[in-house]
Amino acid sequence: MKLFSYCLAVVPLLFLACNTTSTESKTEELSTWRVKGGNPKGTQYSSLDQITKENVSRLTLAWEYKSGEADTADNRSQIQCNPIIVNDVLYATSPTLKAFALDAATGKQLWRFDSTKEAGGGLGVNRGVTYWEEGEDKRILYSLGQWLYALDARTGKKIESFGTSGRVSLKEGLGQGSANLMVGSNTPGVIYKNLIIMGSRVNEGPIAAPGYLRAFDARTGKLVWVFRTIPHPGEPGYETWPEDAWKRIGGANAWSGLSVDLERGLVFAGTGSASFDFWGGNRKGQNLYANCILALNAETGERKWHYQTVHHDLWDRDLPASPILVTVTHNGKSIDAVAQTTKSGHVYVLNRETGELLFPVEEVDVPKSDLEGEETWPTQPLPLKPPPFARQVFTKDMINKITPEIEAFVTEKFSKVRSGGQFVPPSKEGTIVFPGFDGGAEWGGASFDPSGILYVNANEMPWILTMVDVRMKADAWVGISLYRTNCATCHGIDRGGDGHVYPALRNLQSKFNKESMKKFMLTGKGAMPAFSHLSDKDRDAIARYVLDLQERTAEEQQGIFERHPDVIFSNTGYTRFLTPEGYPAVEPPWGTLNAIDLNNGEIKWQVPLGEFKELKDKGIPPTGTENYGGPVATDGGLVFIAASRDEKFRAFDKDTGKILWEYELPAAGYATPAVYEVDGKQFVVIACGGGKSGTKSGDSYLAFALP
């Protein structure tokens, strides 16, 4: 049987549920904000036009809601929530993931739901909630830890008839092997009829749950269907993995969100890489359906088509945002299509019905890996149009030259690592990944204007991926081996953290003793998942190593390689390539906002997004900054976006990229704004949670309107 030809495969759709949608309802869809991303298609676009290019300079703060619970001591809490607004009520979550409802006109709290103790630890972040209604039954569905909760939208009380006492486990349908593994969902599910369809977040290390897509009955919580992204025997794609890989490999999860074509009865997902992210010697093959754009029958979960954007991923090239359902004019014809942004700074545009590419993509030969046991896939796809909206290779002439000292520092470090564009394999010497692990594009998504223009923000930060052999001598302390396998990816091989998201694990004796550290590992907290899959003895060994308690037991005189013989390599951490001052090692721009014409596949404009005040004061033009959270375009001719680490909220002219308005937020707005209307008045709201890239944490939602 011939292997899938670079992953464009089409199978019959056995059942296609169709809904008729009137012109009026389509117009209403773009003027409300009932789901994350504004509408089921995920376009992040508003047809409201009360706020325009001419009057946006008069925009003022209409209300502020302080949700509380920001981590102002360590500045590690965040809010990534894109609020939804239904019947003049705004629904969102706090830094500790408590759900709440506000009067959308005034910001007055209507109710608040707290089940964090019941849900357990390791709650992470939340990017929104889901609304469902049937007659007088109106519900908010949202994920908290491993649970999907159903709340009464009017009172915030649990719907006790949903699942067991108002909740169902997000481990449902994943198999017994996932019982003790981390599973959750940072991104809300999508609604099709009476189904809520969910993606998931799973561990990215060697031991991870599979990222199957699932649909639950929104009324009862009953599991309705499962699409296995790591196929079982007899299922299409099984031959692209080692035999029985589904029993031991995880990941391939749609963590970044879904979109729905209600008329065609299709749900679309972008999946991530298989676990472990950076070494695949134990998952040789093309690895379907990891790194795929998927089109599924929303009623049954059956696959209609798929397209794989990275074969046998070794670079953490998850598809970072939900596919956007667009309509473009291509070769003189109006075509319903899917647009998928990527971490590498590309946009794939495919026919929504067939998965056929609208613009050419070339399969290019890529280098082989020199890591033991690894077999890179011989070719990788690279779109030829639209052109990439982020630079593709970090060369010596692009080194940061803000000062001679910076140039010298970066030049020396650059000479010791590998750099050669996309798909240079991970290495023990260190390989530059550029754009980095956070894009290019990231989870904030893009905004699509009905005229055919896509607005997307991008990071241009180089990262260094360094691999390390985790096999140790038979008499090595297993605490070190376990740490390197389970913890080093985030906290670094030397326990130094990354200085941004993942803290250093040194000198923790004042905060933890051995038992409290073990408990912390068992439950998790914030972005740190629970390590409940590890035995008490293994958590004990890691705790003693992290806390520098050099006590060992005789039975610990064995290495991790003997325990897990298929694990050979880990990485030394998520390491940005920075100057000593904390700036990216590459020359600016470091963050951009881009307008891309999807009708003809051309970039219309690109401007820096964000600035460093200290550099601006020295006369250096705006450089852009790392940015998290997406844009929203409107019929008023504007693009609203916060996202930048300079804690500003801005409105850009969507035709030229010129800044027309900006506002200094109480904390950075690492979230996507929402645009809505109450009693004829247009509002723009943004969550101000901060807590990334060294910025302070906050707890506010700010809404703006014309006076």
Domain ranges of the chain: 9-359+372-465+579-705, 471-567
Q: How far apart are CA 5 and CA 78, in angstroms?
A: 42
Average pLDDT (87-95) is 98
Q: Where are the alpha helices (DSSP H) in 425-524?
A: 478-486, 488-491, 514-523
Decide: 312 and 367 in contact? Cβ < 8 Å: no
CA angle 668, 670, 671 (to 5 degrees): 130
pLDDT at residue 116 in the model: 87
Q: Which of 650, 642, 603 is nearest to 626 (CA)?
A: 642
pLDDT at residue 121 in the model: 66
Strands 632-634 and 638-641: antiparallel
Please give the single-letter amino acid code of residue 642.
A
What is the average pLDDT score of the chain?
A: 91
pLDDT at residue 558 in the model: 47
Q: Is 22 exposed, middle or buried (0-12, 13-18, 19+ CB in 10 A)?
A: exposed
Half-sphere exposure of 389 (CA within 13 A, CB side): 36
Q: Flag whether pLDDT at 361 surpasses 90.
A: yes
Question: pLDDT, tens digit, for every residue of 389-446?
Answer: 999 999 999 999 999 999 999 999 999 999 999 999 999 999 999 999 999 999 999 9
What is the torsion angle, in degrees rounded to the nearest 10, for the CA atoms of residue 407, residue 404, residue 620 and residue 591? Answer: 10
Q: Does residue 500 come out as left (phi exceeding 0), alpha (psi in the -120 to 50 range) or beta?
A: alpha
Please give the single-letter amino acid code of residue 65.
Y
Q: What is the CA radius of gyration of the chain?
A: 24
Same topology for domains 9-359+372-465+579-705 and 471-567, yes or no? Answer: no
pLDDT at residue 565 in the model: 55
Strands 674-678 and 659-664: unpaired
Q: Flag whether pLDDT at 528 surpasses 90.
A: no
Q: Which of 154, 145, 130, 41 is nearest to 81 (CA)?
A: 130
Q: How many CB atoms lie within 10 A of CB 36?
A: 28
Q: Flag whether pLDDT at 1 surpasses 60.
A: no
Beta strands in 614-673 (DSSP E): 632-634, 638-641, 648-653, 659-664
Q: How many CB atoms lie within 10 A of CB 443?
A: 24
pLDDT at residue 556 in the model: 53
CATH number of this structure's domain 471-567: 1.10.760.10
Q: How far apart are CA 651 and CA 277, in angstroms?
A: 37
Question: pLDDT, tens digit, for every residue of 324-348?
Answer: 999 999 999 999 999 999 999 999 9
Q: Flag whether pLDDT at 7 surpasses 50.
A: no
Token code pair at residue 640 = 């609203």
Q: How many CB atoms lie within 10 A of CB 103?
A: 15
Average pLDDT (196-206) is 94
pLDDT at residue 552 in the model: 61
β-sheet with 591-597: strand ranges across:
447-448, 453-459, 591-597, 602-608
Q: How far apart are CA 340 and CA 270, in angstroms?
A: 8
What does the buried/exposed string (b/e) look like for 446-478 if buried means 16 or more CB atoms within 10 Å of the residue's CB? bbbbeebbbbbbbbbbbbbbbbeebbbeeebbb
- Would you place residue 372 in the very low, low, confident or very high pLDDT band (cuts 50, 70, 90)? very high
Q: What percent of the chain has pLDDT over 90?
A: 78
Q: What percent of the chain has pLDDT over 70?
A: 92
pLDDT at residue 171 in the model: 97
Q: Which residue has the higher pLDDT, 157 or 18?
A: 157
CA angle 29, 30, 36 (to 5 degrees): 80
Q: Which of 108, 61, 103 is nearest to 649 (CA)?
A: 61
- Would you place residue 502 in the very low, low, confident or very high pLDDT band (cuts 50, 70, 90)? confident
Determine the distance from the C-alpha atom of residue 453 to the mean position of all C-alpha atoms in its chain, rounded to a whole number: 23
Indicate the fold that domain 9-359+372-465+579-705 takes in CATH: Methanol Dehydrogenase; Chain A (2.140.10)
pLDDT at residue 562 in the model: 43
Q: How far apart are CA 233 and CA 237, in angstroms?
A: 9
E strand or H helix that includes residue 543? helix 536-546
- Would you place residue 13 in the very low, low, confident or very high pLDDT band (cuts 50, 70, 90)? very low
Strands 84-86 and 89-93: antiparallel
pLDDT at residue 598 in the model: 98
Q: How many CB atoms lie within 10 A of CB 17?
A: 15
Q: Which of 574, 649, 648, 657 is nearest to 389 (CA)?
A: 657
Give 226's contacts (C-beta < 8 A, 6+ positions apart). 173, 212, 213, 214, 301
Q: How far apart are CA 292 and CA 300, in angstroms?
A: 19
DSSP sequence for 684-700: EEEEEEE-STTPPEEEE
Give 244's contacts (C-beta < 8 A, 6+ positions apart). 233
Token code pair at residue 11 = 């199978």
Determine the distance from the C-alpha atom of residue 338 to the mean position of all C-alpha atoms in its chain, rounded to a whole number: 18
Half-sphere exposure of 471 (CA within 13 A, CB side): 8
β-sheet with 89-93: strand ranges across:
84-86, 89-93, 99-103, 109-113
pLDDT at residue 526 in the model: 66
pTM beyond 0.85: the answer is: yes
Q: How far apart are CA 689 and CA 707, in angstroms?
A: 25
Q: How far apart are CA 198 and CA 201, in angstroms?
A: 10
Decide: 95 and 689 in contact? Cβ < 8 Å: yes
Q: Flag whether pLDDT at 16 surpasses 80.
A: no
Please count the residues of the chain. Answer: 707
Question: pLDDT, tens digit, for every residue of 239-276?
Answer: 999 999 999 999 999 999 999 999 999 999 999 999 99
pLDDT at residue 530 in the model: 75
Q: Which residue has the higher pLDDT, 25 or 569?
A: 569
Average pLDDT (66-87) is 95
Strand-pair partners of 596: 454, 603
Average pLDDT (109-138) is 92
